[in-house]
Structure 1
Amino acid sequence: MRPSFLDAHMNRGDVLLRLNKPKQAIASYEHALSLTTNKADVYFNLGVVHEQMNEKGKALEAYTYAIQQEPTHIKALYNSAVILQSTRDPDLLLRAKSRVERILKLESDHLLAKTVMGSICMDLGDNKQAIQWWREVLKVEPSQRTSLFNIPLLLSKMDDSDAECIEAIKELLNHHSHHVKGWLLYGDVMLNKKKDIIEAQ
């Protein structure tokens, strides 16, 4: 009845994605692109579909187009930063850092952005800054699994931080008593750093 009704094409894409028909969802979103000048959300949705299809390059491209259309598009900034961080490439890590910094200027309390910033700093070799970012997250959300695990994991790789590392692991296990990687890390630290075979066992 109304072939140019933008929201209908967007909603159709959303439904097709939920029905696990990503290629048809892409076609619906691409048609929506031709119906609007405000393309940021459409490109973002395309990025989500490509990411679900494990097409990280195309997803990153779509998110970047969304940011070009709307420089304050927080979801596109965040999703693209996560992809860039996952590459561990130094140049791309700096791009990821720049995007997360833009998020934090817009939303200073964005916990997921702070979590990713910690990972970026770790990959760039700034371990102290990484831990500081994760501790900022825990001030607001004390039970956040990612930060609780990343802190002792990083401390376990640093010299002269055994006591701090063990304390951080215990904090993790206090919140998440069934955290398998946490128990493995604790065993590893007790065996290889503290030489306590009984406790490690």
Structure 2
Amino acid sequence: MQRKSILTALAFFICTCLLAQRNAPTSTYTADEENTGFKKENIFIGGGINLGFASNTFALGASPEIGYSVANWLDLGLGFNVNYASQRADPYYNGNIRQRNFSYGVGPFVRIYPINVLFLQGQLEGNWSNISLKDMTYDQSSTYKYKSTSFIAGIGYSQRVVGQGSFYTLIGLDLMQDKNSPYRDYNNRAIPVIRTGFNFYLKPSHKK
């Protein structure tokens, strides 16, 4: 089931790329502009929604962010997240224990664009979670609070014009093994994370 979830996520990503490729914009950078120092028009804010799914697991969240386009091929920034995750009780999967997880976190990210419409992203996150467990067999409930660390690595498609705006879709996985991560399931397996959103530059450029 885990492999099926990852393949489904990848299929969704590929379809999104093919549909959006038709109207992909080009960058406003030139070779000379990359070395002219700090530019207010290169600061962006925005974010999007997060989706995650695996066997018996569903996750939904929001991921606001602020960043700076250092060059045509590089963005640096700080991302925030608020997530809700639900794991259905199943006697064969998780001992018939239902889990609800509300978490929030923050951490730096880097995006590298090997080509205009494709990027690689890494994001280190510190997360704080409130977890509610209910044993459906014995009708017993408990709650816990945890702190965890995640590192989400992924690949994404972007329609991006530096100084104007961008749209992106990302598929990633938490590469760390912290069992309390909001991006890992009851059995500590990584949940595929899909993020889709928009960014807007604070001082839009009118260059074409």
- More helix as a share of residues: 1
Fold match by TM threshold 0.5 = no
TM-score normalised by the chain length of structure 2: 0.18
Higher relative strand content: 2
TM-score, normalising length from structure 1? 0.19
